[in-house]
Amino acid sequence: MKRRIAVVNGPNLNWLGKREPKIYGTQSWAAIWGALEKWGRRNEVDLDYFQSNHEGALIDYLQDASGRAAGIVFNPAALAHTSIALRDCVAMLPVPLVEVHLTPIQKREIFRHHSHVADAAAATISGFGPDGYFLSLALLKHLLQLSSPVRGP
């Protein structure tokens, strides 16, 4: 059975590979997305992707995606630390959402230690670089299989 998962990125993640490579690495989002698409094909999961630098556009997309995707992987980036509106949006979604951060937010600047999104998410994965997206997808796939009416190996 095919599943659809939305992968959503917040501000400045369109600059991966160029943005502070000592912190965020040198891999571009295009390279990461290509690997994620391969993961999706191998795992029979259709992936949608959206990125915005604008809080309202992210909220609109999350609300819309929850009507067509079984789950969402969301990297809210810096908005995790500032946006109550994103937190409220995540809390009302009818599908599971896994929050992901490339860097270990608890080991960064103190203003990054708290994520407003975390308490509304099914889980938060932080500090694994691009592998965090794969971990998030695998966790969502697992959560979706557990919640399906028929379980199998």
The pLDDT of residue 139: 96
The pLDDT of residue 151: 47
The residue annotated as part of the active site, out of 24, 61, 116, 133, is: 24
What domains are defined for the chain?
3-147 (3.40.50.9100)
Predicted TM-score (pTM) of the model is 0.88
The pLDDT of residue 39: 95
Is 116 annotated as catalytic? no
Strands (E), the chain: 3-9, 45-51, 71-75, 97-101, 123-126
Is 81 annotated as catalytic? no
pLDDT < 50 regions, the chain: 1, 150-152
Q: Are 47 and 36 in contact (CB under 8 A)?
A: yes
